[in-house]
Amino acid sequence: MTIPRRSLRAAGSLAAAAVVGLTGAVLSAGPAAAHTPTWAVTCSEVSLDLTAYNSNVTNQVTVTVDGKDLLPTETFGKEFHKKLELPEHDKELTVHLVVKAGDGDNFSRDETKTAPVCEDAGTPSPAPSQGTPSPAPSTEAPAASATPSEAPSTSAPAAASPSPSSPDLAETGSSSATPVIAGAAVAVLLAGGGIMWSVRKRRTTQH
């Protein structure tokens, strides 16, 4: 059976159109799937990994933190890799990424992420650990306890001072020398009596 040439030509034209359509679809889908703007945000830095971009055009990337430039606008080609250090902060930061693809706005990115506060950056943790004042009170306590113990020891001799004064008061009534004086007086009387007796005896012998 013979197929007319017109039919063959028509079939060839349809096949060619289908191939062109598929090729266009693949080509158009390729760049869309190729652009991969990957980025991550931690408490201390921002990591940028922009790959598979069109190197024949000019692409741009910008990063801001709370409205301030962390990465001023930079141009790149096929890919861009960079790590940006975040400033010290005690509250969450808003990180804004803008990527402008030179081959179409549909490949551009405008995204925002939040940078948390680093646990060790908040001086609170070191501050509680600085609770060294606790040893200081403990050293002061023994010092205070030592002073009271010495105070009673010094006051004890003061209380004992009345004891030496008590003998002096007792001596005012009768001195320890009184018996000696009394003995001397008796001796004098006895001596005087002896003298008188001897004198009388001589007188009697003379008469």
User: Tens digit of pLDDT for each residue in 23-72?
Assistant: 444 344 444 447 888 999 999 999 999 999 999 999 999 999 999 999 99
Look at residue 193 and tell me whether its pLDDT is greater than 60: yes
Kindly report each contact of residues 126-132 with a partner whose C-beta sits within 8 Å and lies 24 or more positions away, as own/partner: none
Count of C-beta atoms within a 10 Å radius of residue 154: 8
User: What per-residue confidence (pLDDT) applies to 6?
Assistant: 55
Interhelix angle 135-160/162-173, nearest 10 degrees: 10
Nearest to 108 by CA among 118, 99, 117, 120: 99
In this predicted model, which residue has the larger pLDDT, 99 or 161?
Answer: 99
Q: How far is CA 205 from CA 6, 191, 201, 202, in A?
A: 213, 21, 6, 5
Six-digit token string for 167: 């003998």
Q: What is the pTM of this model?
A: 0.45
pLDDT, the chain, mean: 72
